[in-house]
Structure formats: C-alpha cells, structure tokens
Amino acid sequence: MIAAYIFYLDFCRDQNDPASGATLTRVQDYCVKYRLAGPRKVAALLGVIQAAGYCTREVALVDARVKIFVPTAKAIAALNGILSPAIEAVQTLDGTDEYGRFLDRNPKAICAISAFGFQHLYLNGLKIIDGIPSLRQFFEMSGGLKLLFSLYAQRNSENVVVCNASNISKSFGVSRTQMQRVMSLAEGLGYLKLGEPLGRRIELLPPIVALIEAYISVHLAVLAIGARRAITGASAT
C-alpha cells in the first residue's frame, strides 16, 4: 500500500505545486491514518527503498526546500511485473486486448492504471477489507491475510494444501507461533481443517474460498475501472 501510494502521488503530481508529489510528510501522514506504520518506520522504509534503487529523492523545481520521492525505471518494471498478470486476467474477463495494447504503447501506462485503481480502492471510500469484515481480523494479524491467500493459490482441485509449516512461516517472515495463531483462528471460524502435525495437510473449506474469491473479484473489477480511466485519460490528452 505504501508503494502504491507513492506511485499514485507521483502520477498525480502537479509540477507547479511544491506540496504535491510523494513527500516524506505526506507518506507518513497517510501511513498513520491507515495504521500501516509509524513515522519513524516509514522514514526507514523509504530509506531502504531509495537505497535499493526503487526511487530517487528529488528537489521540487518550484521550492528547493521540498524533496520528493520519485519512482525509478526499476520500480516501474517491478510494478509492471506485479500488475501484468492481473491485467491479463481482466482482459480475459472483458474479452478484450485493449489494456495490453495500452501498456505496449506507453511504458508508464502501468503507473496510470495503478494510480486510478489505487484511487478507487483506498481514496474514494472503497476499501475491500472493510467490506469483508470476516477477513479484517486476518489483515490485522502479521502475515495473516497473505497466508490465507497463499494457501488459496497453492490448493489442489480438492482445496487441499500439503505443505511444510516451517517453510511457510519463513516465506512470510513470521514465527511458527504466529503462523499457528493464524491457522488456529481460521480453523475455529470453520475456514480450515488442519491435519497433523499442525499445518502439514490443510483443507480450505467453502466459506474461506468464497471470501477470497469475492476479494479477488472486487479487486479485479476496480483494476478494470482503473485501466479504463487510464485509457480514457490518455486518449483525451
């Protein structure tokens, strides 16, 4: 979400307004508002992002006192890698290839799609996770929602995942204790059936499959809206 917000601020930046763009203060305020991270952690995260070559910190042309984080070509390539599979899914659902052609024509088109999608998802009042309160408790647990989505992605035709609990906890950077908390909560809510030893064989039950698919459906729909708005905006200019 922090990276998406930086892309959004950069795309919507007004070159004549030194306060626009991804300033440290603006990103910090956003993260505090949505309880993503505290100001110090945000500053540290942005420092890591900059050191890794995903953004530069440039002086605003109008006011040299203002410094703005600007995504680099490396960041745009990473964004393209993340969103392209979703764009392909949207094209399949819509029966069109116009989004792909739009991306081919404009190397920064992915930023427009990301910005408009982000605006609908987080800035215009539509927050998927708030609309699906059953998933919010996992969202608020470290690695919780990602864990459920990972199990969904790895399930077989019988909605069963056979996995190594240690590998899962390592891949999400959470302890086995935290992973067990997530698993136990999901099992208690009737979302999973856990085999022995804990987490070795996991069966996803219909309620969690339905919730995750609802989440994905809304996300893809908003992405499609973002893509259409981006294409319309590019045509207008």
Burial of 236 (0-12, 13-18, 19+ CB in 10 A): exposed
Residue 123 binned pLDDT confidence (cut-offs 50, 70, 90): confident
| Of the listed ranges 19-33, 81-95, 126-140, the one predicted with least confidence | 126-140
The stretch 207-217 carries a mean pLDDT of 88
Query: C-alpha dihedral over 218, 190, 133, 169, to 10 degrees?
Result: -80
Work out the percent of the chain whose per-residue pLDDT is above 70.
91
Each residue of 170-196: b (16+ CB within 10 Å) or e? eebebeeebbbbbbeebbeeebbebee
User: What pTM was estimated for this model as a whole?
Assistant: 0.69
Q: For residue 237, is pLDDT > 60?
A: no
Q: For residue 184, is pLDDT > 70?
A: yes
The model's pLDDT over 214-234, given as tens digits with 9 standing for 90+, comes to 888 887 888 788 888 888 776
Number of Cα atoms under 13 Å in the Cβ half of residue 42? 24
**Per-domain residue ranges for the chain?**
2-71, 74-127+213-236, 131-211
Residue 48 binned pLDDT confidence (cut-offs 50, 70, 90): very high
CA-based R_g, the chain, Å: 20
The model's pLDDT over 136-168, given as tens digits with 9 standing for 90+, comes to 888 878 778 888 888 888 888 899 888 766 677
Q: For residue 56, is pLDDT > 90?
A: yes
Helix (H) / strand (E) element for 102: namely helix 98-105
The model's pLDDT over 60-115, given as tens digits with 9 standing for 90+, comes to 777 778 889 999 999 999 998 888 888 888 888 778 888 888 888 877 788 888 88
Residue 66 near residue 59 (C-beta atoms within 8 A): yes
Instruction: Give the residue from 218, 219, 189 showing the smallest Cα distance to 206.
Output: 189
**Under CATH, to which class is 131-211 assigned?**
mainly alpha
Query: C-alpha dihedral over 128, 134, 135, 136, to 10 degrees?
Result: 80
The stretch 107-125 carries a mean pLDDT of 79
